[in-house]
Amino acid sequence: AIQLTQSPSSLSASVGDRVTITCRPSQGISSALAWYQQKPGKAPKVLIYDVSILDSGVPSRFSGSGSGTDFTLTISSLQPEDFATYYCQQFNSYPITFGQGTRLEIK
Amino acid sequence: QVQLVESGGGVVQPGGSLRLSCAASGFTFSTYGFHWVRQAPGKGLEWVSFIRYDGFNKYYVDSVKGRFTISRDNSKSTLYLEMSSLRADDTAVYYCAKDSAPWEQGIYYFDYWGQGTLVTVSS
């Protein structure tokens, strides 16, 4: 199974900060990478798919990039509603796997 | 609008069985593949299983192979997960999730998720 290593596992930041979360697959996954946001008690919601494509309705302050075994999710200017847990996901091969999550907290 | 509503969760003893359902509406259910994803309390997301739009291809994570069975009834727009030989480490919220593209030609990300149903395995 392809392992996804996310870093950091937690992050404290302030409104207006720029933050970057990294996801490193244990092997190549082409462009089959998505990012999800999950708030407490809620289902995950897709933000970005195919590395860099924003899902419909997702604010443009979110962006994704990367290739090979190094991918990033960037939030350019944190808003109060962005404090949540973020997961990367590879859908290149079964079993589909997720990173362990990055909890983004208010500083 | 797309709606996915899970049901069937509850408390079950170790070794017991449970069947989860996911009722879908707002789109053509029979053209999309579906997944089950679980999340243990306070933990991350774990993909569990996939079923193709027509039910012919199914995949499972190793930890549930031989114990869980995914199925679907396209006439009822409903997805199922039959769970048996349940263990304490199966305790989790179970989500159904929809493939983002119809007529599976590959593997896709998940564009809609249900609200989840909690399964607790405990004596």
Q: Smallest Cβ distance to A89: which of B50, B109, B116? A: B109
Handedness of CA B7, B11, B12, B14 (dihedral sign): positive
The verdict on a CB contact (< 8 Å) between B45 and A98 is: yes
d(CA B70, CA B59): 9
- Tell me: the pLDDT tens digits for B34-58? 999 999 999 999 999 999 999 999 9
Best residue in A31, A96, A100 for a mutation probing chain B (most B CBs within 10 Å): A96
Q: How crowded is residue A41: how many other Cβ atoms within 10 Å of its Cβ?
A: 8
A30: three-class secondary structure by DSSP: coil
Q: For chain A, what is the mean pLDDT?
A: 96
Burial (CB count within 10 angstroms: exposed 0-12, middle 13-18, buried 19+), residue B87: middle
As a whole number, mean pLDDT of residues B57-75 equals 97
Q: For chain B, what is the mean pLDDT?
A: 97
As a whole number, mean pLDDT of residues A23-32 equals 96
Which pLDDT value is given to residue B26?
97
pLDDT tier at A27 (50, 70, 90 boundaries)?
very high
